[in-house]
Amino acid sequence: MARSQLELVRHLEALDANAPRVERHLWLIGLLDWVRGSADWQNPSEDEVQAVLTRVRSLLDAVAVRPHWRQRWRRWWAVFITTTDETPLLADLGFAPRAAFLSELTRRLRKKLLPVTPDSTDQADLIYLLFPGELDARWLRALDKETARRMGELLFDEEPPGPGSAAQYDYAERALLDALTYAVSQISAIGLSPGIRSRMSMEARQARRFHDLPAMFEALRTAVQTQGRLSPGAQQAIAAFREHLDACRASANTVYAHLQEHGISVNIEFQIQQMRQRILRVKGLLLCLETAEPVLAAAQMLSHLVRVSRDTLSVRALIRSNTQLLAAKVTERNAEGGEHYITRNGKEYRQMLRAAAGGGAVMALATWGKLFLYTLGLSAFWGGLAAGINYSLAFVLVMLLHWTIATKQPAMTAPALAAKLRSLNAPGAIDGFVTEVMFLLRSQFAAIAGNLVLVIPLAWLLGLAFAALGDTRMMTAGHARHVIADHHLFGPTPLFAAITGVLLFASSVVAGWVENWFVFHKLDSAIAYNPRSTRWLGKERARRWGCYWREHISGYAANISLGLMLGLAPPVLQFFGIHFEVRHVTLVAGQMAAAAHRLGPAVLHESAFWWAVAGALLTGLMNVAFSFHFAFRLALTAHNISNVERHRIYRAVWRRMWRHPLGFVLPRKSDARLVAEMETAAAADGENAAPDSPASPKEPPARQD
């Protein structure tokens, strides 16, 4: 303790208001380092927080008994507040300088990578050096009234000598009003921007709340400056202004209904979040302005700003908070499409088998198409592009014929499952969800079986036909041996299959994003009604095309993007020295059948062939598992399903698997009863739903400011 006091004495003796600016700021950084001591900055215990408060009181005691230190400190403080700008700290810390998502992402990356200099007049920059961790936020919030009063006396009670002393009495009030002026202007600017104003409801636009906001604040400022901040007139003006802020926020929230209906824009969502957070910041500044304990309120505000300064460095938090609505929109669209891939009775199960068999036939053609491209000897990139176009054409053909490919289903069906979790606390909600999981896995089994039932014999027959025509270039004996060796169970097949599953999931995200972009820019309406379109196509055909692309743009985007990713991912990764090969179970099965035909019946007696067959089966499992896993996690995040609720769901699924394993593979007679129970529960939930249910557009949860 004595050593600590000695360090404090040496530090206070070095206090010099006439030192260069960077030296003054470094001195303050060193003083706060002494206050923190050896405590953990990021994860402090309560004892460490109390130890910091003890050091703060020791600092105040040391200054109180030495008048010359008190005079030096006040002179230093006067220089500090007159040579630094507090407005960016109070009004702008934590907000983007430009209301655009990508510019804020770039700014955060730059702040994380580049160091901050103490030679700055911006207090928003200095806060990163003065209060670098969670410990500072906690001890500032834990300040008691007596300690806060003593700090206020040290800084403001007596007029200190030196520059700026005459302006020091009204420093806090002036700083708050300046910060409020800046923040209010930003709120008004966002509310009146074309992207926000044009998407508000008609009632919100007619109310003109953002137009009136500057005038309301000017009335507040006049009342504070002429009557005093604690006068009845000023308090009444503050209360009226706070109500008007709430009205502005309500007007901005009407934009969400438009976004849900007409497509999500990350930039617009980012602007609304910025506005909401600025409104909360203004309310915090108003509390500091109207309170009878200004120093304690300032400490609370500073504690909040310390946490905000940490949050502004988080790239993950920025992406998560500003893409939540887009994730919800993507999963909502995929959920609508995913319902068609879930079979709930024997008739639908047989239909899935037939559709999957058709998909397998097309993929057999795609397999030999890829082998034909192999004989052309194209370079890596052009070969990958040609393969991607080949896959894309096959996937689009399957879509147009209303057939299916097993591995494309999980990314679509996972959001459909997550949509069933909106009312987890309703009676029977978990059991209903587990039943949906059973139907889904059974559908996946039917789809994979249907694909393989036709892709294998058709690929073999095509090989027979090409051999009869005398063409053996597409599948030579060496190439066939290479195919079998590459798909060995204990080779890189599991890893490649998992990465392919991620690509399958990525295609569903691309599909949802493209559809949202299409709807947001009203391209369906432009196709249907634009004079140029109607001149070229005619009015009726233009309208049909607009409706067609609105309904099918997602499917085209998913299939084309998946085909191109499967074709181009290997050469692109190879450019960076990363070896990767596509492992899609239907394509793998087709290649194995072609290789088996080329090598003849003798290959059935080779262990390498059966290890490759095992690798193909594992490929199907990995494709489905990874595609479903990522899609399901995205859907759970979009629906705000907590970790505790997720564990309840997983346990219920495993219990059903243990008790009724066959139901996850084949349809049963009891399925009709389960479907009827689910429909009854859904109808009851729809009747009892509140108007502000999760199915209806609303403002997403706000971060507490």
pLDDT, tens digit, 9 for 90 and up, residues 205-230: 999 999 999 999 999 999 998 988 88
Find the range with the poorest average confidence among 132-146, 302-316, 432-446, 584-598. 432-446
Contact between 303 and 102 (Cβ < 8 Å): no
pLDDT of residue 280: 92
| pLDDT at 161 > cutoff 50 | no
Q: Give 17-45 as a DSSP string.
A: TTS-HHHHHHHHHHHHHHHHTTS-SSS--
Candidates 434, 443, 371; CA nearest to 405 is 443
| pLDDT at 335 > cutoff 80 | no
Give the phi and the psi of residue 122 in degrees, each rounded to 5. Answer: -100, 115
Measured torsion, CA atoms of residues 515, 518, 524, 527, in degrees rounded to the nearest 10: -130
Lookup result for tokens 């392919």: 500
Q: Give 109-133 as a DSSP string.
A: HHHHHSPPPS--SBHHHHHHHHS-S
Q: Which residue has the higher pLDDT, 416 or 561?
A: 561
pLDDT of residue 684: 54
User: Which 8-state DSSP code applies to residue 474?
Assistant: S
pLDDT band of 692, cuts 50, 70, 90: very low
Average pLDDT over residues 112-130: 86
Kindly state the tokens that stand for 111: 């702040």
pLDDT band of 703, cuts 50, 70, 90: very low
Kindly state the tokens that stand for 220: 């507040």
pLDDT band of 245, cuts 50, 70, 90: very high
DSSP β-bridge partners for residue 662: none
- State how far Cα 542 lies from the chain centre: 36
Which pLDDT tens digit goes with each residue over 625-639?
888 777 777 767 666
Q: Given 3.40.50.300, 1.25.40.20, 1.20.1080.10, 3.20.20.110, which CATH number is that of 327-684? A: 1.20.1080.10
Which pLDDT tens digit goes with each residue over 142-152?
998 888 888 88
Find the range with the poorest average confidence among 130-139, 311-320, 459-468. 311-320
Kindly state the tokens that stand for 376: 């052309």
pLDDT band of 236, cuts 50, 70, 90: very high
| pTM metric for this prediction | 0.67
Kindly state the tokens that stand for 373: 């491209």
Residue 290's identity, in one-letter code, is: E
> Cα separation of 646 and 638, whole Å?
14
Q: Give 239-303 as a DSSP string.
A: HHHHHHHHHHHHHHHTHHHHHHHH---HHHHHHHHHHHHHHHHHHHHHHHHH-S-HHHHHHHHHH
Whole-number percent of the chain with pLDDT over 70: 84
Find the range with the poorest average confidence among 370-374, 390-394, 696-700. 696-700
| pLDDT at 103 > cutoff 70 | yes
Three-class DSSP category at 85: strand
pLDDT of residue 415: 58
pLDDT of residue 691: 38
pLDDT of residue 333: 56
| pLDDT at 243 > cutoff 90 | yes
Kindly state the tokens that stand for 693: 């249910």
pLDDT of residue 13: 85
Average pLDDT over residues 526-541: 90
Across 446-479, b (16+ Cβ under 10 Å) vs e yields bbbbbbbbbbbebbbebbeebeeeeeeebbeeeb
> Cα separation of 642 and 649, whole Å?
11
pLDDT band of 314, cuts 50, 70, 90: confident
| pLDDT at 702 > cutoff 50 | no
| pLDDT at 119 > cutoff 80 | yes
Contact between 359 and 404 (Cβ < 8 Å): yes
* Residue ranges of domains in the chain: 2-322, 327-684
Residue 600's identity, in one-letter code, is: G
